[in-house]
Amino acid sequence: MISRNRPSPAIVCSRQARRCRRERLFSCCQCCRGADPEFDWEYELTPIYNNKIDERYITNLIQNVVSDTNESELFLNEKDVEEIDETIDNLEKINKPKADIIRSLWDKVKQNPQEYAGTSISQLVEDLINKENHRLMQEFADKYKVDYNDLRYVINNYVSDGDSTRQKGMAEMIDKEAYKKFKDAYPDTELKTLLKWKHKIRQEVDTFYTDKIRPLMYTE
């Protein structure tokens, strides 16, 4: 839930420090000169000056919010909520799959911030991304009747824009046994030969990696 009540002085100080750092007002107040000595100033400014928003920036914002939350403050500050909502909206414009995952967690945090006090938001996001990656790869493996572990190996070693015939593990994944399983599952398939099927799978893996997997990867 969201509160419009005035937060405690300590929380105001912490939020003001973060705001000053984002706006590059390094010495505007005592907060910025003395609070939070381990704060990564250079990274905090990255989304502003490099026009780049990624999951680490957003998870830092959410982490700061739940770190401000304690037993005596059961509600999130409205300005913090608006800032994080807006930042996720901006991420959605360039990376909707990742924004959807972070938003799903943020919605839960807004409903019950106390539940996330003391937890690592970045780890929770990483776990959600791993879970989604597993779901997507399992779905692909089931559809094209390839071995899940083989597919996972190919994806983990995939070279974008590389030669599809030379991707690590690809030859082992699209062997005769996999093609037989595919034909048994789709007897009316237009892919009547092993060669055509291999070509199709290589294309589908490239599209799958580009559209589904790469957007969820961590970016520096």
Q: Mean pLDDT by 10-residue block, N- to C-terminus, for the chain (220 residues)?
A: 46 46 40 44 39 77 79 71 94 93 96 88 95 97 97 94 85 96 96 95 96 83
- Taking the whole predicted model, whether its pTM rises above 0.75 is answered as no
Q: What is the pLDDT of residue 70?
A: 57
Q: What is the pLDDT of residue 65?
A: 87
CB-based contacts of 121, cutoff 8 Å, min separation 6: 59, 62, 63, 66, 105, 109
Q: What is the separation of C-alpha 164 from the centre of its chain, rounded to a whole number of angstroms?
A: 26
Q: What is the pLDDT of residue 69?
A: 56
Say how far apart CA 112 and CA 118 lie, in whole Å: 13
Q: 90-93: list long-range contacts, CB under 8 Å, 24+ apart.
A: 90/53, 91/53, 91/54, 91/55, 91/58
State whether the Cα torsion 201-167-156-216 is positive or negative: negative
Q: What is the pLDDT of residue 37?
A: 45
Q: What is the pLDDT of residue 201?
A: 96
Q: What is the pLDDT of residue 38?
A: 47
CB-based contacts of 158, cutoff 8 Å, min separation 6: 167, 168, 205, 209, 213
Q: What is the pLDDT of residue 28?
A: 41
Q: What is the pLDDT of residue 91?
A: 93
